[in-house]
Amino acid sequence: MIEIAEFTTSDTLRLPAEVAARFRPSDRFMVWAEGDALYLKRIAPRSVTDIVAEAPLGEPMSLEEISDVVHQVRRQRRAG
């Protein structure tokens, strides 16, 4: 499938409907250019199940530890 996308004056890339239907408005992408080629890769957030699976066994986390993790994740998201 080859479709045409259009770069608009408002710095947005208008995707063909068939391509855009594969994504949600909240999806985020890594973007890079090589020569005249532009690449987009959707960034998939980690699932809660994956995060829980990595949690250490034993004592539950303290509220302070949970708070530290939440702040760390928020800083990472703001940094992009």
End-to-end Cα, the chain, rounded Å: 31
Let me know whether 35 and 64 are in one domain. Answer: no
Distance CA 26, CA 42 (A): 11
Q: What percent of the chain has pLDDT over 90?
A: 45
27 vs 54: which has the higher pLDDT: 27
Let me know whether 13 and 37 are in one domain. Answer: yes
Is residue 26 over pLDDT 90? Answer: no
- Residues 6 or more apart whose Cβ sits within 8 Å of residue 19: 3, 5
Distance CA 16, CA 14 (A): 7
At 77, list the tokens.
């998201």
* Domain span holding position 13: 6-43
Total structural domains within the chain:
2
pLDDT digits (tens, 9 = 90+) for 41-67: 998 877 777 777 777 778 888 899 889
Let me know whether 38 and 10 are in one domain. Answer: yes
Please state the pTM of the whole predicted model.
0.49
Let me know whether 53 and 32 are in one domain. Answer: no
